[in-house]
Amino acid sequence: MATQRLGKHDARWALILAGGEGSRLRPLTRRISGQDLPKQFCPLIGSSTLFEQTRQRAALVIDEARMVTVVTRPHERFYSRILADVPADRVVVQPRNRGTAPAIIYALARLAAAGADAPVAILPSDHYVDSDEAFMRHVDAAFRAVTTRPELIVLLGIEPDAPEPSYGWIEPGEPIAGTNLIRVRRFWEKPSPERALSFWRSGFLWNSFVMVTQVASLLELLRDALPDLYASFEEIRCDLGTAREQQAIEALYEKLGEVSFSDEVLGKAPDNLAVLPVTGVEWSDLGEPQRVFEILEREGVQVAWAVA
């Protein structure tokens, strides 16, 4: 990838997803912090939380005033201090976790109701990268791509260093002419070890779940893939940003089941889905304790704790 100067642009937004439970790492986060807290609010790697590291990383190319964080109310004691200085309209509080699809639709609906018609990056808050600047160069490139091709939803696909069966994999298709993007042929979620080895040898990519697109394009994709869920948020759009929002959202989330964006949207591999290969960056979703230990060992950190 050509080296470009990183800088912030007035038109860009970020949605930082911080509502997950991180249940597989709970024994580890409990051992580190003494609290039963989700991994994004734990200082797993370094002295700051993964959520704080995500915000700092995003700030390389997106102004902090245009970062919207999605959380869940049961986690308030974990994020209240971190978000104390963030304006209330930049925090989307879900009554409870209902999966990634409702979280994304809710946040996008808030942006649309506020009149935002601009490119947006979707950033999970519980990942590790070894170089913030190198990773955000790829995010910056994705922003530039959707500026010229606003119909595209651009995923960041990580060049794998192992046949990891517990990750989602992207099967690349044809290159998109005039860009450094590739069409997405298919998604493979958590394949067998044998199939993961085949994917690795065939040049497939890990799905980072980091994506960049126009607000309107992603809303259109969600409307087509999840019409009932989309319609339920449309019904309360006039309440968003008003004193009626909390009551409306409470009632809506009471009726919702859990809906995965990866399974129900990306898994359908729509025609306007593209992948930007990410090379030269070490990435992990830190989904298993062993991944945390491996990263700490590579960084020369002495681990004084262990999971009981």
| CA terminus-to-terminus distance, the chain | 44
pLDDT at residue number 167: 92
What is the rounded CA–CA span in Å between residue 168 and residue 70?
22
What is the rounded CA–CA span in Å between residue 74 and residue 143?
33
What would the two tokens of residue 164 be? 């990891």
pLDDT at residue number 36: 86
CB atoms within 10 A of CB 190: 12
Total-model pTM: 0.92
Q: Which residue has the tokens 């999970």?
A: 124
Cα 63 from chain centre = 17
Contacts by 245-249 with C-beta closer than 8 Å and gap 24+? Answer: 249/94, 249/95, 249/106
Q: What is the mean pLDDT of residues 82-97?
A: 95
Radius of gyration in angstroms for the set of CA atoms belonging to the chain, rounded to a whole number = 19
Residue 286: phi and psi, rounded to 5, are 50, 40
- Segments making up each domain of the chain, as ranges: 13-298
DSSP structure string for 157-178: EEPPSS--TTSEEEEEEEEPTT
pLDDT digits (tens, 9 = 90+) for 127-158: 999 999 999 999 999 999 999 999 999 999 99
pLDDT digits (tens, 9 = 90+) for 225-248: 999 999 999 999 999 989 999 999
Class of domain 13-298: alpha beta
Q: Which residue has the tokens 């200085």?
A: 85
pLDDT at residue number 7: 64
Residue 306 has, within 13 A of its CA and on its CB side, a CA count of 1
- Which pLDDT band holds residue 2 (cuts at 50, 70, 90)? very low
- Residue 68's SS3 state is strand
| Residue 238 DSSP label | G
- Nearest Cα neighbor of 285 from 127, 100, 52 is 127
Q: What is the mean pLDDT of residues 88-95?
A: 96
Report percent pLDDT > 70 for the chain. 94
